[in-house]
Amino acid sequence: MITLRVVLDDMRLPGSIGRYSEELARALIETAPAGCGVVGIVSAAHDSEIKAIEKVLPGLESLVRLRMSRRALQTLWVAGGKFEQLVPNGARRLLADTGGLSGMLHSTSLLAPLQASDRLEARGRQSAVTIHSAAAFTNPATMSTAEVAWQRAMIKRAAKHADAIVVPTHSTAEQLSHFVDVGERVRVISAAVSSKLRVPIDADARAAALDLPERYLLTTGSLNLARGLGDLITSMATGAAPDVPLVITGASDAAREAIEQHTASLGLDSSRVRVYGRLTDQELAVALDRATVYVAPTVDDGIGLPLMEALSFGAVTVYSDAPAHLEVAAGAGLAVARDDRRNYPERLAIAIGEALSDGELAARLSVLASDRARAFSWRDSAEKVWQLHADL
């Protein structure tokens, strides 16, 4: 049995990265070549968390739970700490039975044990990591100082020690090339739409329970005000703003408070900006399916997954001209220039107004959106990951 060990710790995170990790892992299991299997690796976790992962990924050969917390792993691995010392005895025997550490390791993020080793020691060992965004270099002001430092250090470590680096878009690869030398080790493997995002049969009841307006703008993804959401909310207070409420989903308590404070500071009535917490997959599908216009204002997206999900529902989309957005949408929506942030909110409002007022344009964009979304497949992405490791 040839085993691909996949670091799945990001599955437990909310948002695009968590969804990416789960969907790719599921597809890797489903597309495993004959004689190959997938072993998952996570940081220290409660039994309930382990059972939850095993439930959504039933085809895993096993799930190895390390001895350290996620935060401790980040600290250890950024310093080049070794993987072996973290594996409990029982799991160590399991890894030994399937080739030990001299095998294939794939991380769905930057969280990975990357170490310098000589050629004889590393014989048969290969590692691939995933870099979802170059924002730590291109837009550090939108992240905490600690997160910027960790991501930059891990990206540099990956450039030095990883056998392959997976990125979701060609634009991310191009951005990274300005900051680190990765040679020909970069492989572009896109994300895709979650298999769980399907409109349920009780869609009307769910829409009523959520109290969704008849017409509304929808945004998901990053809830960091500095990354574009603040500009979108500000656009609701401009003279060009349409009389349609904005629905924001996925907000934590802290994000909700920041959004509400920003909304109030603009003098906007609370009915103009509606904030929801994290929705279930079925609820999110209903919200995406019924949105009048989907807006992706993020100025530095690297993965483009929220926009991709909106396209899959045939949504009329308005998005920033972040390179990843342009690549993912490929003209299936209205792009808005980000270069002058002072006037960005007004430009967003104008584009949204155009999408709302021009029925012929909206119908054409909806068809283009559905067609574009079919270009992405988790099965295709997983097969490319298997091929990557075969090539290595």
**Mean pLDDT of all residues belonging to the chain:** 89
pLDDT band at 266 (very low <50, low <70, confident <90, very high): very high
pLDDT band at 195 (very low <50, low <70, confident <90, very high): confident
Distance CA(301)–CA(304), nearest Å, equals 6
pLDDT at 162 over 70: yes
Mean pLDDT computed over 140-168: 93
Q: State the DSSP string of 5-46.
A: EEE-GGGGSSSHHHHHHHHHHHHHHHTPPTTEEEEEEESS--
At 119 the pLDDT is: 42
The position carrying tokens 């430092």 is 149
CATH of domain 2-192+377-391: 3.40.50.2000
Q: Are 180 and 165 in contact (CB under 8 A)?
A: no
pLDDT band at 67 (very low <50, low <70, confident <90, very high): confident
pLDDT band at 100 (very low <50, low <70, confident <90, very high): very low
pLDDT at 84 over 60: no
Distance CA(137)–CA(114), nearest Å, equals 21
Distance CA(133)–CA(302), nearest Å, equals 4
State the architecture of 203-373 in CATH terms: 3-Layer(aba) Sandwich (3.40)
pLDDT at 90 over 60: no
At 92 the pLDDT is: 53
Mean pLDDT computed over 256-284: 92
pLDDT band at 99 (very low <50, low <70, confident <90, very high): very low
Distance CA(198)–CA(273), nearest Å, equals 25
Mean pLDDT computed over 200-204: 96
Mean pLDDT computed over 112-116: 82
Q: How many helices (H) and strands (E) does the chain have?
A: 16, 13
Mean pLDDT computed over 217-221: 89
Q: Do domains 2-192+377-391 and 203-373 have the same CATH topology?
A: yes
pLDDT band at 85 (very low <50, low <70, confident <90, very high): low
Domain boundaries, the chain: 2-192+377-391, 203-373
The residues, any chain, with a CB within 8 Å of residue 260's CB and separated by 6 or more, are: 270, 275
pLDDT at 287 over 70: yes
pLDDT band at 83 (very low <50, low <70, confident <90, very high): low
The residues, any chain, with a CB within 8 Å of residue 198's CB and separated by 6 or more, are: 281, 282, 285
At 296 the pLDDT is: 96
pLDDT at 101 over 70: no
Q: Which residue has the higher pLDDT, 109 or 251?
A: 109
